[in-house]
Amino acid sequence: MPDDSPNPAALPEVPAIALPEVVRELYARFGENTFIRQATKDDVPTLWLPVAQLHEVLRFLKFDVPSPYKLLLDLAAIDERQRKHREGQPPSDFTVFYHLMSIERDQRTKGFGDVRLKVALLGESPSMPTITNVWANANWYERETWDLFGITFEGHPNLRRILLPPTWTGHPGRKDYPARATEFDPFSLDAAKQDEEQDALLFQPEQWGMKRSVPDHDFMFLNLGPNHPSAHGAFRIVLQLDGEEIVDCVPDIGYHHRGAEKMGERQSWHSYIPYTDRIDYLGGVMNNLPYVLSVEKLAGIKVPPRVETIRIMMTEFFRITSHLLFFGTYIQDVGAMTPIFFMFADRQKAYDVIEAVTGFRMHPAWFRIGGVAHDLPAGWDRKVKEFLDWFPKRLDEYIKAAVENGILRGRTIGIAQYNTEEAVEWGITGGGLRATGCDYDLRKARPYSGYENFEFEVPTGKNGDAYDRLWIRIEELRQSCRIIKQCLENMPSGPYKADHPLTTPPPKERTLKDIETLITHFLGVSWGPVMPPGETSQLIEATKGINSYYLTSDGSTMSYRTRIRTPSFPHLQAIPYVIRGAMIPDLIVLLASIDFVMADVDR
């Protein structure tokens, strides 16, 4: 095939033989010259294409290729105007990228099921066509890109700010927008401004294409949130009600937005780790993992097996604490008040172990580039064993006392149901996807950090309803215990840090003996490590779904662009689709069954 020979000028680093399947398919269909292939440090084939052919290519990938790319995993922009290292990439001021995934292909090829497409845009206020007519879940991603980067998507049904308030001026994701409060004039809120802000929060149904009434009756518009006992954080959802039936609804997010991606561009690679803890604030070190794995790919660090196993053990502990909170609040949202107290007691036991190992509880920021902060403490195995002896028995009790309860089943079976196809269309991953019967778990499909060495199962549901989503998490709790048990029994010995100059902070043993190591150590801990230029990403199966960090390094002590793909963001976007026609109590059950935290949505 002629398409198998790549153009050597455009591909300086890519070896000629290893063309990924999807690249071959695209070359065969659209011709090799349509694309410019970019080398990245992850396994994701990355192709630049002209904006004119974007739709054609996306539709081809979504509908026409064998094992089609049904999942739009991520969509965001990069402000390229200040970037120095762009070898082999077409000129661009703003780049919009699309991360697509084919679950079928990913499971078949063991982790080569995704593709990243990039579109170069020129000018200060660029515009391009929307893809909301190809993927429903592109809607919020495009709004976010407009909000933060000022890129207009022509034909978007409702291109308005999503994370920032409507009164905001400027696009903070851009490189020329200041990142620190000290770069602005002092903030003040006078009465006039307060009124203006409050008026801007008033819900106008017309803006969302809703009617206030039909000929024989009016609708009631109910603000659920941003302060509501069941909204799980500062989340507002405006309901259009006919009695207690939800005709339509508009989720409103952004109340918890703090610019985590922007912070990544002003913190050193090392000092950004604590910020990741707070993305999914129930996930603890689970959030560190995709970030440090990503940075390690940039740096070319391979961590020792002990580090991998320690990391798996601690992330699984956090999966347990996060799922337990989900479990308790879920039952509480259905109206039973007692189980959550027991589950807090169990989380306490897990936190005892976490505290003994890391020194902190919810946000340990304990993983490091190239390792973990320190070795496991003496006696850690006893604490872990105590937990493993305690916890599974409690789980059985909860199932008997709460999950098999008739009222709970009546409230959740068949409620807020969707199938695999709908889940993929809306970008739903994690337990929400597996409840529909799709056994896609990144830990199995593309094992990272040594998950391939562990025996565990991927629980799946059948109906994709709220009850199945509960069961998935309960089974996952059991599987997490199983993984932790294997960590306990097979913990490798060896160093807890990689022997690599970019490990931060680097191992100190040799620094007092030779000057080279001393200098590296000094720079690493004062300025922070300098990562070689390049792009990479790491996807992990986080507590709530697929979490990924897509990092761009420009050869500096800080990230040039940090894109955080969180699972909760698309999950919330799907709410109106899932809940239309149901009742308010069903919405509460849906919110409980999604398992989201607003910090994870708004970043």
3-state secondary structure at position 192: helix
Paired tokens of 21: 């399947």
Binds another protein (CB under 8 A): choice among 301, 402, 484, 498: 402
Question: By CB under 8 A, is residue 335 in contact with another protein?
Answer: yes
Structure tokens at 205: 């149904």
Binding part of the chain for another protein, among 14-22, 332-340, 445-453, 524-532 by CB under 8 A, reads 332-340
Task: Identify the CA nearest to 62 among candidates 110, 120, 23, 101.
Answer: 101
Q: Which of 411, 443, 446, 469 binds another protein (CB under 8 A)?
A: 411
According to the binding rule CB under 8 A, does residue 465 interact with another protein?
no
**What is the rounded distance in angstroms from the CA atom of residue 37 to the CA atom of residue 59?**
20
The span of 11-19, 200-208, 209-217, 338-346 binding another protein (CB under 8 A) equals: 338-346
DSSP class of residue 497 equals: B
CB 219 to another protein: min, Å = 12
Task: Out of 175, 228, 444, 510, name the contact with another protein by CB under 8 A.
Answer: 228
For 470, other C-beta atoms within 10 Å of its C-beta total: 26
Candidate ranges 62-70, 108-116, 218-226, 290-298; the one touching another protein (CB under 8 A): 218-226
Distance, in Å, from the CA atom of 423 to the CA atom of 439, rounded to the nearest integer, reads 13
- In whole angstroms, the minimum distance from the beta carbon of 449 to another protein comes to 35
**Cα–Cα dist 369/465, whole Å:** 40
Query: Alpha helix locations (H) across 430-560?
Result: 431-434, 442-445, 466-489, 515-526
Least separation, in Å, of the C-beta of 233 and another protein?
15
Minimum gap (Å) between residue 471 Cβ and another protein: 16
Find the shortest distance in angstroms from Cβ 546 to another protein. 29
- For residues 562 and 173, give the distance between their C-alpha atoms in angstroms, rounded to a whole number: 10
- Give the range of 31-39, 216-224, 260-268, 387-395 binding another protein by CB under 8 A: 216-224
Question: Is position 204 an interface residue for another protein (rule: CB under 8 A)?
Answer: no
Q: Within 570-599, which residues bind another protein (CB under 8 A)?
A: 583-586, 588
Instruction: Provide the 8-state DSSP code for 47.
Output: E
**Residue number with CB closer to another protein (180 or 217):** 217
The residue from 407, 462, 508, 522 that contacts another protein (CB under 8 A) is 407
For another protein, what does the binding mask look like between residues 526 and 565, x meaning CB under 8 A? ----------------------------------------
Residue 338 touching another protein (CB under 8 A): yes
Please say which residue, 109 or 230, places its beta carbon nearer to another protein: 230
List 334, 416, 498, 539, residue binding another protein (CB under 8 A): 334
Nearer to another protein, 518 or 584 (CB): 584
What does the H/E/C string look like for 582-595? CEHHHHHHHHHHHC
Compose the 345-364 pattern: x for residues touching another protein by CB under 8 A, - for all others. Answer: x-------------------
State the virtual CA torsion across 236, 240, 241, 242 in degrees, nearest 10: -170
H or E stretch at 118: strand 114-121
CB closer to another protein out of 124 and 404: 404
Alpha helices in 300-435, H assignment, sequence order: 305-333, 339-358, 380-398, 406-412, 420-425, 431-434
Beta carbon nearer to another protein, 106 or 586: 586
The yes or no reply on residue 202 touching another protein (CB under 8 A) is no
Count of all residues that appear for the chain in the document: 603
Q: Compute the distance between CA of residue 246 and CA of residue 590 in angstroms, rounded to an integer.
A: 13
DSSP 3-state of 383? helix
Choose between 127 and 405: whose C-beta lies nearer to another protein.
405
- State the number of CA atoms in the 13 A half-sphere of 591 facing the CB: 25
Which range, of 6-14, 97-105, 151-159, 336-344, touches another protein by CB under 8 A?
A: 336-344
Q: Are 233 and 598 in contact (CB under 8 A)?
A: yes
The residue written with tokens 């081809």 in the block is: 60
What CA–CA distances, in Å, run from 341 to 14, 346, 493?
55, 9, 38
Stretch that binds another protein, among 93-101, 219-227, 420-428, 446-454 (CB under 8 A): 219-227
Residue 205 makes contact with another protein by CB under 8 A: no
Residues in contact with another protein, counted by CB under 8 A, come to a total of 30
Is residue 410 at the binding interface for another protein, with CB under 8 A as the rule? yes
> What residues have CB less than 8 Å from 522, skipping those under 6 apart?
none
Percent helix, strand and coil across the chain, each to the nearest 5 = 40, 15, 45
- The reply on whether position 230 binds another protein by CB under 8 A is yes
Residue among 107 and 329 whose Cβ is closer to another protein:
329
Q: Does 210 sit near another protein (CB under 8 A)? A: no
Taking contact as CB under 8 A, which single stretch among the options 220-228, 441-449, 477-485, 486-494 is the one that binds another protein? 220-228
When the beta carbons of 16 and 220 are compared against another protein, the nearer one is: 220
Nearer to another protein, 3 or 244 (CB): 244
Pick from 18, 337, 512, 515: which binds another protein (CB under 8 A)? Answer: 337
Out of 333, 441, 475, 602, name the contact with another protein by CB under 8 A: 333
Calculate the alpha carbon distances from 490 to 309, 381, 481 in Å.
9, 11, 14
Q: Count the neighbouring beta carbons within 10 Å of the beta carbon of residue 56.
A: 13
Show the 3-state SS of 549-580: EEEEECCCCEEEEEEEECCHHHHHHCHHHHHC
Q: Which is nearer to another protein, 401 or 525 (CB)?
A: 401
CA-CA distance, 366 to 425, in Å (whole number)?
35
Q: Does 405 bind another protein (CB under 8 A)?
A: yes
Residue 229, interface with another protein (CB under 8 A)? yes
Q: Give the footprint of another protein on this chain (CB under 8 A).
A: 220, 222-223, 228-230, 243-244, 331-338, 341-342, 345, 402, 405, 407-408, 410-411, 583-586, 588
